[in-house]
Amino acid sequence: MTVSVWTYYLNEISAIDAGFVPTRDNPGIQRRDTDQPIDGFWRVMGAKTKHDLPAAVWRQEGHDHVVIQIGRQQPMVVHESGPEVMKFIGGSFVSCAAVRKADWDMALASGFWPDGRPSRDVIEITDYRELALHLLSNNDADLITLLRGKVKWYGQAGKQLPGALYHINIEAKK
């Protein structure tokens, strides 16, 4: 019997559907130091004050190569047993939680996961209105800590967006 390259990922999604809640210390129900194919859509869970990168792994049909995409970087096409795959499994994959493709797509496109956590460094997020909405609607202390020192807030005396949303100007630390 041939095992699908998606089996490992689908087992993780099934566990989440059954109520398992991934955390950085316990991102899944299966061991992460696996020799099974890990094709799927993943959330690299960052430290408490960091962002969670979207990652994806998939096979090139008919080839012994896999494609690894982390964040918005150019996807890498590598041999399935190459050092890049081993580095990913031994590094980032240790803290990866399975996610549905729609959530992965949202994180990649908007810069935020459905739960409001950023999926890339906030300095890279240029949609200030969306960032303001996330901050105000989630009142996320971790996100606010993440932004401290990177954000200038403009309140009543400054420029405001419609609906009393605060205008945010993100600047890189000097």
Question: What confidence score (pLDDT) does residue 163 get?
Answer: 33
Q: How far apart are CA 23 and CA 95, in angstroms?
A: 8
pLDDT in the model for residue 168: 40
Query: pTM for this one?
Result: 0.69
CA distances to 69, 93, 130 from 32, in Å: 18, 7, 34
8-state DSSP, 149: T
- Which residue's entry shows tokens 């992460």? 32
Closest by alpha carbon to 16, among 33, 30, 35? 30
**DSSP bridge pairs for 54:** 43
- CA 96 – CA 93 distance, rounded (Å): 5
pLDDT reported for residue 15: 96
Note down pLDDT in tens along the chain; length 174 residues.
Answer: 456 889 999 999 999 999 999 998 899 999 888 888 899 999 999 877 678 999 999 987 777 888 889 888 888 888 888 888 888 888 888 889 999 999 999 998 888 898 888 887 765 555 555 566 666 566 555 555 555 544 444 433 343 333 333 334 333 333
Closest CA to 51 of 105, 122, 103: 122
pLDDT computed for residue 173 by the predictor = 32
For residue 156, what pLDDT is reported?
37
Place of tokens 């200038």: 152
Taking CB atoms within 8 Å and a gap of at least 24, the contacts of 88-93 are 88/55, 88/57, 89/32, 89/33, 89/34, 89/38, 90/33, 92/44, 92/53, 92/55, 93/32, 93/38, 93/42, 93/44, 93/55
